[in-house]
Chain A
Amino acid sequence: MSAPLTSLDRPNSYIGRSVPRPNAKRLLAGRGRYVSDLRLPRMLHAAFLRSPHAHAKIISIDIEQARALEGVHLVATGADLAKICTPWTGTLDHFKGMTSAPQLPLPLDRVVWAGQAVVAVVAETRAIAEDALELIEVEYEDLLVVVDIDCAREVGTPLVNPGSANNVCFRSQLDSGGVDDVFASAAHVVEEEFSFGRHTAVTLEPRAIVADYDPGSEMLTVHHGTQTPYQFQDLYSRHYGIPEARVRVIATDIGGSFGMKLHVYHEDMAVVGLSILLGRPVKYVADRIESFVSDIHARDHRVRARIALDAKGEILAMDVHDLTAIGAFSTYPRTSVVEGNQVIRLIGAPYRFKNYRAALEVIFQNKVQTSQYRAVGHPIACAVTERLVDMAAAKVGLDPFAIRERNVIADDAYPQTSPTGYRFEALSHQECLRRLHAMMDYDALRAEQADLRKRGVYRGIGIATFVEITNPSPAFYGVGGARISSQDGAIVSLTPTGEVRCLISVTEQGQGTEAIISQIVADQLGLAQEHVKVITGDTEVTPHGGATWACRGAGIGGETALQATRVLKRNILEIAALILQEQPAALDIIDGEVVDAATRQQRLPISEIARIAYFRSDTLPPGTQAQLTVSHHFAPQGYPFAFTNGIQGCSLEVDVETGFIKLLKHFVVEDCGRIINPMLVDEQLRGGVVQGLGAALFEECRYSDTGQLINGSLADYLVPMAMEMPDIVIAHVETPTADTALGAKGCGEAGTAAASACVLNAVNDALTPFGATISTIPITPAKILKALKRF
């Protein structure tokens, strides 16, 4: 018996199909074109002298020897660049009361973190530029350093920004009311303090930029390894006073980004200025140590939270205080408070309770800035919520699955509004829980765990539900005054040979943007995917849009492509109808052929329509103007965000003698709405999970008391490698959003959102026989042994 036909059996049905990425073959042959590979005629190279102090006054800078070195073209200080670049401030209007000091490419008189770029050298080669750095003498006067978050909050403590009243960047509160009363009368209250280490993106290709200012045409071209070329076009235009139409930002292949490469970095702004000063292309590629000390870091939160339950284990209320330290500045233009904001708004999100209170405190310190990195806030919100739920389950005497089944918002109860104000269109926690339970073979895992415990083998099982923010509307940045678009644009053309070209504002960092856009276009037009060419990442040719961040590529970019293609198809069929003397509605397109919609009988290839329209328009009826190029924009409306959900599970083993953790298997059930390419979605989830596992077990930017990053290399900062990572089993529930025709939501953060929470719960589960608990991430062997009182 053959399987029933599905929508995938329709010709050219690419939505929902696992097809390989057309643009991946070139990368496999070493033919990627990353910014770090780029070489332009007359191109020079920049290097930066960095501050050895975490906080110091700049007394003097002597650049004479460096300037005299053969091969050096320019040595620039903060004052030189301040003449041509206006300062920026990393605040947004909707974060009421937040402050941050103005920033310039290079500092004028004070350094605020160890590793901050102070002087730029531009030379014939990078090596000569670095030689010249050694000839620069900077005299510093040490200032008191604020490193520790508690120290930063003390009254009378040294100030990161002199002139301010304290080291507070931002404070925020949420209160649905009634929280104290609920806690006072609750049958069970569980409380814990959690801490989440600083970690960073560690993209394999470091930040790279080639700025090319042509004084002849007064035109700035920037080849920039970034997710968001339009954002940078706007910023370079405004801060250097160049009309926007004369600024072109090209984002070619990019060796990983994960949110890290969409922020303004001092060196990048400086390189643009250096190119303007020299009228020549200037290249800068961060080396690995520079990446560690100047890329944004993320997390670094300490959360005290409590949860109240009734006698049966129903969650009644949560009360949260999140404290986070963000470095010396708030990052521009997306700020450094979004993570904290999302932590306090996402905590408790899967559950039904109504009484919620949260306070957020964002603190300055003398470290490099933190900001948005993959799954912003989600891993913290998830770990706090899910660990408390597990602790509550133990107290009430419920299994982790049982307490979640009792408390998640029911699948048939949507739409819902969370106590923090998030509006959920439709989520599927119950279904995901059921699927995970079956997929893990949970009862068998528990039985095996019990058996092994008798033999002194300590395995742990952990699960974590999560909610993910995707498809952001202007509610995310636009309302705060940031010129960061939430809409996307596409230009779709039928070419003279009958192929389709799509220029679109979403960008590619390897997640498969170009592949899924070509799938959507081919699917909607009725064409083989290999006849669709997708072009991204060049502000000169692709329309303005949000590009790729916060899980918006498939949901918003995909819908843009879908709507644009539907218009193009309509236009093609109008011309076809004129040629064939039919009504457009009687025609369709399959495999690049116009067909009779009812019988599917072939009538005319679309290449013939293109030929006639482009070369023999004289044969069309008078007054006909074929529109075979369609420009179309789509801005999300309806729900401010398309929330997704899912649940993860993991099984691991703790060696109680050494403290080492062996990850055995990881499970994900995820609901990102309509899936366009299952293989790519699974790949996103696995990659995301592994980043979350890195955070859970290995990754931490460690600082000395004097504010020096002490593990800024790939030998000292541990990232997850193949050997330590488990196989990851994935299943899907599909709840499409009704806000779009496509129905897709994002999936890029989901893996990272809950992986560390799962591990935290599993490790605590493994340690149960010892009465030991862990509440900090990363969970290092030393922490395990300390919890076991063996270290």
Chain B
Amino acid sequence: MSGIGDDMLVDGADETMRVRFVVNGRKVACEVAPRETLVDCLRNVLELTGTHAGCEMGACGACLVQIDGRAVHSCLMFAVQADGARIDTIEGLSESGVIADLQAEFHRRNALQCGFCTPGMLVNAHELLSQVTRPSREAIRDALSGNYCRCTGYEAIVDAIDAVAKARVEARVEVRSEGGSAT
């Protein structure tokens, strides 16, 4: 058959744009197609496969990452829309240690089975506890209502987040009382 004519190409599909992010504290630049979602860019281009694609419509929470400090569905955003943003994924949050207590408590209580929902759960739990110091179990369940877990039945996840919230409050009280006694 004859060579490929221009009419054989889907318009613009192979054109890419250069975008820059600060991902997990490091500046990165990459070439992405305009139609590429952020989750695909993170997973395929930047090889940050800890962020998962579960439903590709913002319903399951597996793709949650932090963008400029807020939990965002990376499947509902094109990579080009995140140009210039600070993005923190499960890999960066793990390495920086900011969710180490959550991870330890999830581990201790076995608040995960297959682990596919877990990065999104942790991003969401991190966001919740950064906004509400001591959420009730009801409030934790409510906050998790956009994170689908097929394995656990949710209870251990709620327990783990509850325990971390309590421990963080107690740690703060201790710090305060130590500070008080020093003056």
Contact = CB atoms under 8 A, between A and B. Distances in A.
Given A28-B115, A205-B114, A690 B1 contact: no
A28 B114 contact: no
A721 interface: yes
Interface string A631-666: 000000000000000000000000000000000000
A721 B112 contact: no
Interface stretch (A5-13, A310-318, A723-731): A723-731
A254 interface: yes
A213 B36 CA distance: 29
Interface stretch (B45-53, B66-74, B79-87, B167-175): B45-53
A28 B156 contact: no
Contacts of B103: 25, 28-29
Nearest to B123: A30
Contacts of A256: 113-114, 116, 150-151
Interface in B148-165: 148-158
B55 interface: yes
Contact of B4 (A70, A680, A725): A70
Contact of A28 (B13, B60, B112, B146): B112
Contact of B8 (A69, A127, A204, A680): A69
Contact of B91 (A30, A64, A205, A512): A30
B135 interface: no
B116 A34 contact: yes
B158 A722 contact: yes
Contacts of A680: 110
A25 B59 CA distance: 26
Interface string A31-74: 11010110100000000000000000000000011001111000
A24 B115 contact: yes
A725 B115 contact: no
Contacts of A715: 55, 57, 59
A686 B54 contact: no
Contacts of A258: 150
Nearest to B33: A127
A713 B57 contact: yes
B13 A128 contact: yes
Given A31-B50, A713-B59, A721-B148, A69 B9 contact: yes
B9 A32 contact: no
A714 B60 contact: yes
A728 B117 contact: no
Nearest to A65: B8
A255 B8 contact: no
B56 A288 contact: yes
Contacts of A203: 114, 116, 150
B148 A714 contact: yes
Contacts of A153: none
B1 to A, nearest CB: 7
A686 B157 CA distance: 12
Contacts of B156: 683, 686
Interface in A248-265: 253-258
A255 B52 contact: yes
B41 interface: no
A44 B89 CA distance: 27
A37 B153 contact: no
Interface in B111-126: 112-119, 122
Contacts of A25: 103, 107
Nearest to B7: A65
A119 to B, nearest CB: 17
B1 A255 contact: no
B8 A683 contact: no
B115 A64 contact: no
Given A204-B60, A721-B145, A28 B150 contact: no
A486 to B, nearest CB: 25
B90 interface: yes
B18 to A, nearest CB: 18
B156 to A, nearest CB: 6
B107 A28 contact: yes
Interface residues of B, number: 63
Contacts of B151: 256, 510-511, 687
A204 B52 contact: yes
B54 A70 contact: no
A691 interface: yes
A477 B52 CA distance: 35
Contacts of A253: 114-115
A687 B57 contact: no
B20 interface: no
Contact of B155 (A27, A688, A727): A727
Question: A24, A128, A721, A722: which has the most chain B beta carbons within 10 Å?
Answer: A722
A204 B115 CA distance: 10
A38 to B, nearest CB: 9
A723 B107 contact: no
A719 B148 contact: yes
The main secondary structure of chain B at its interface with chain A is loop
B107 A686 contact: no
Given A28-B122, A34-B116, A205-B116, A722 B4 contact: no
B114 A255 contact: yes
B153 A690 contact: yes
A262 to B, nearest CB: 15
Contact of B149 (A24, A204, A751): A204
Question: A39, A288, A679, A680: which has the most chain B beta carbons within 10 Å?
Answer: A288
Contacts of A244: none
Nearest to A374: B150
Contacts of A39: 44, 47
Given A204-B117, A509-B113, A683 B152 contact: yes
A70 B150 CA distance: 39
B112 A204 contact: no
B14 interface: yes
Given A21-B110, A30-B94, A686 B9 contact: no
A64 B4 contact: no
A516 B57 CA distance: 36
Given A683-B156, A686-B155, A287 B56 contact: yes
B10 interface: yes
B112 to A, nearest CB: 6
A69 B10 CA distance: 8
A29 B94 contact: yes
Given A690-B153, A713-B55, A27 B115 contact: yes
A205 B54 contact: yes
Nearest to A22: B107
A178 interface: no
Interface string A265-302: 00000000000000000000001100000000000000
B153 A204 contact: no
A131 interface: yes
Interface in A199-253: 201-205, 253
Contacts of A510: 112-115, 151
Contacts of B114: 27, 203-205, 253-257, 509-510
A728 B144 contact: no
Nearest to B137: A727
Interface in B128-153: 140-142, 144-153
Q: Lowest 5 A-B CB distances belong to which pairs?
A: A30-B50, A27-B115, A255-B116, A686-B153, A510-B113
17 contacts: A21-B110, A25-B107, A28-B107, A30-B118, A31-B91, A64-B1, A68-B1, A203-B116, A288-B55, A680-B110, A683-B110, A690-B154, A713-B55, A714-B57, A721-B147, A722-B141, A725-B154
Given A25-B103, A722-B142, 5 more contacts: A20-B108, A29-B50, A34-B52, A39-B47, A127-B33
Interface of B: 1, 4, 8-10, 13-14, 33, 35-36, 43-44, 47-57, 59-60, 62, 89-91, 94, 103, 106-110, 112-119, 122, 140-142, 144-158
Interface of A: 20-21, 24-25, 27-32, 34, 36-37, 39, 64-65, 68-71, 127-128, 131, 134, 201-205, 253-258, 287-288, 509-512, 679-680, 683, 686-691, 713-715, 719, 721-723, 725, 727-728, 751
